[in-house]
Amino acid sequence: MKENKPITIFGGTGHYGQRIAKSLLKKDIPVRILTRNPDKARELLGDSVELVFGDVLSKECIINTLKDASAVIICLSAFTPKLIRQLHAIEQQAVLKIIDEMVKQRIDRLVFLSVYDIREDLLDRLSVRKLAEVKIASEKYIKSSNLNWTILGCPPSYELFFALLQGKNMVVPGGGKNKIACVSPDDVGQICAQAVLMDDLKGQRIRMAGPEALSFPEVIQRISGYTGQKIRHISPPLFIINLVSFLVKPFNPFLRYIYYSLKMMNNFPEDLVTKNSEDHKRLLRTFNYLPINFNKEIENRYLALHDEIR
């Protein structure tokens, strides 16, 4: 750390951002975030974090948030019904502005949270390029810079499995029968918090694999085994989601992106599943943390799950 200057996190109140911020604060590292909702930020992160009120789409706000920062973490996401129409502005245009301003302010260290892996040929084959085109553009821009950058590829959070759990039913369009890489959001927080403090990861793209890849049938079996409640696996065909998302796209484009995500999930590359163990071992060699496996995640959520499926 340079003279105890803060680390700036763009996206610091998001699913991963808040966990990254908390991990840094536990290390007594000063943290600064840009937020449109200071009350929410205080509720999530407490009084120790420095807040800058504003919008990431504002160049002036970006400049103010970066002032005297020692390093930057970008984990911006517009993947919500409210923000999806601003996806390109938030996840691409704003990222490029942040990078340009980092160069101007001579801030060298950058950690960028991206998708797990980018397979442009697969995206094109599945006709889901829109799902990752902003990350593709942002990664290319970062790699062309002279910054000390590290890109961390994040697989689906364990949250995905619980989000599709509805009472005693796990509703998975397309079935989700193939294994996918997945990770605890708390592990992401710890890894990112450590990565930004390391200077020997320059120019590296690291996949943040959890301890194992899982299929939805396996997830159902484990949750059922732990809770003692039988969970039905319901798998509506993807073409129904495709049709509905296409029809409502003019006034609800978010559903279209959900369809893209489901299609990608059901066609997760087998070679990445094969490499899951190798990728995870690399994380254990590089970072100092105790990974949370899915069984532990179920245990951590047991009371909430019990109330939900009872």
Give the model confidence (pLDDT) of 212-240 as tens digits: 999 999 999 999 999 888 999 999 999 99
Amino acid at 36: R
- With 0.85 as the threshold, say if the pTM is over it: yes
Task: Say which residues have a Cβ less than 8 Å from residue 22's Cβ, sequence separation at least 6.
Answer: 45, 189
Region 140-163: mean pLDDT is: 97
How many domains are contained in the chain? 1
Give the model confidence (pLDDT) of 101-118 as tens digits: 999 999 999 999 999 999
List the CATH number of the domain containing 28: 3.40.50.720
Instruction: Tell me which residue range forms the domain holding 49.
Output: 7-154+185-212+270-304
Position 231 in a domain:
no
Q: What confidence tier does 253 reach under pLDDT thresholds 50, 70, 90?
A: very high
Position 170 in a domain:
no
Q: What confidence tier does 2 reach under pLDDT thresholds 50, 70, 90?
A: low
Please work out, in degrees rounded to the nearest 5, the angle formed at the alpha carbon of residue 262 by the alpha carbons of 261 and 263: 90
Position 201 in a domain:
yes
Position 229 in a domain:
no
Position 240 in a domain:
no
Give the count of beta carbons closer than 10 Å to the beta carbon of residue 266: 19
Q: Is the pLDDT of residue 20 over 60?
A: yes
Give the model confidence (pLDDT) of 69-84 as tens digits: 999 999 999 999 999 9
Position 165 in a domain:
no
Give the per-residue pLDDT at 309: 47
Which residue in 189, 199, 191, 114 sits closest to 149, CA to CA? Answer: 199
Bridge partner residues of 112 (DSSP): 74, 151
Give the per-residue pLDDT at 227: 87
Q: Is the pLDDT of residue 304 over 80?
A: no
Which residue in 29, 28, 94 sits closest to 65, CA to CA? Answer: 94
Region 41-61: mean pLDDT is: 96
Position 243 in a domain:
no
Region 118-122: mean pLDDT is: 96
Position 96 in a domain:
yes
